[in-house]
Amino acid sequence: MQQQSVRREPSAQSDASHVKDQDWVPLSDADRYSYQKNGYLLLRGLFDSAAVRRGRELVRAAHEGSTPSIAAHESFTDRPHTVRVRDAIAHHPGLAEFLDHPGLIGPLVSVLGLSVQVLGTEIFVRAQHDAPLESWHTDGGEHLQRIRLAAESASLQVKAQVFLSDASEDDCGNFLLIPGSHRRMPKKTIPTCYIEELNEPFERGELPDDAVTVHAAPGDVLLFPYSLWHAVARNTRRPRETFIFRYGQLWHRPHDYLQQPPEVLANMSPRLRRMFGDFGADPHPTEFYKPNDQRRVMAGEVEAGRR
């Protein structure tokens, strides 16, 4: 099956309808339908070559500077061929350029609604390895794996994978996925969320007939929900450099931080501060569920926490 890429055009029907001076454009109805049906969108050329260069500089800075990260956890299957810097925004503020990019905000609002929170930020490098880099699995843990949403529902959690190195050929540590699997349950669910029915043949080098190999160029972004069945192919060509951004609803618990420090938030736009759960000093608890100014904040019209 051929992978689905996206050309973004305005949509007349969306929770992401236009607000005065809004700098982003929601997905077209056709692209939203494609995401709902297939469980992913490949946003081609979202970041230009200059942004990609700046992104790769952030990767090098994180790698060379031994950026501190959160403690190891037994659920993370880190391997020698993988470098993961979690809560990367706290140490590399240049990531804000990518997180707050209008070309990414539009698709996020289109699939999540206006209640968008950044749950985690990772700088993610996969080195060469002559075997699959990751087995078939879903994200978010065993409890989230058991939740399947109605076709027209807003997403609960999604990931955006920003490609900084060239993965446009096979054997580049390509992202593997099964279209439509975000609405299927594995035959057996296990705490690690690996999909045993696919991984036994995967270890023998066999892919499902309906699997898609994503061929991504630098600057492309892959958007997909927690429930999509996915894996990572072998990498025999070059280190694969990406950012991984996790998103969810404003009322979700973040993934790799509790609260960003004031000095980190101070460098962000009002919109991005809100996307990191900042509601100003002493917010009312209801604000996390139904903030009155959310549409204007996401449009960049009003400073977060001030109405």
pTM here is 0.89
pLDDT value at 14 more than 50: no
Inter-residue contact 98 to 162 (CB < 8 Å): yes
Which DSSP symbol is given to 240? Answer: E
User: In the structure, what pLDDT confidence band is assigned to residue 126 with cuts at 50, 70 and 90?
Assistant: confident
Q: Set out the domains of the chain in order of their start, with CATH numbers.
A: 5-299 (2.60.120.620)
Q: Give per-residue pLDDT as tens, 74-124.
A: 555 556 667 788 899 999 999 999 999 999 999 999 999 999 999 999 998
pLDDT for residue 306: 42
pLDDT for residue 22: 86
What's the rounded Cα separation, in Å, for the pair 164 and 170?
A: 16
What's the rounded Cα separation, in Å, for the pair 13 and 33?
A: 12
- Paired residues of 288 in beta bridges: none
The winner for highest mean pLDDT among 79-93, 142-156, 174-188 is 174-188
pLDDT for residue 64: 78
CA angle 17, 18, 24 (to 5 degrees): 105
Which DSSP symbol is given to 90? Answer: G
In DSSP notation, 151-164 reads: TTPPPSEEEEEEE-
pLDDT for residue 247: 98
Q: Three-class SS of residue 16? A: coil
pLDDT value at 38 more than 80: yes
What's the rounded Cα separation, in Å, for the pair 94 and 139?
A: 26
Inter-residue contact 221 to 104 (CB < 8 Å): yes
- Paired residues of 247 in beta bridges: 118, 158
Please give the share of the chain, as a percent, with pLDDT higher than 70: 86
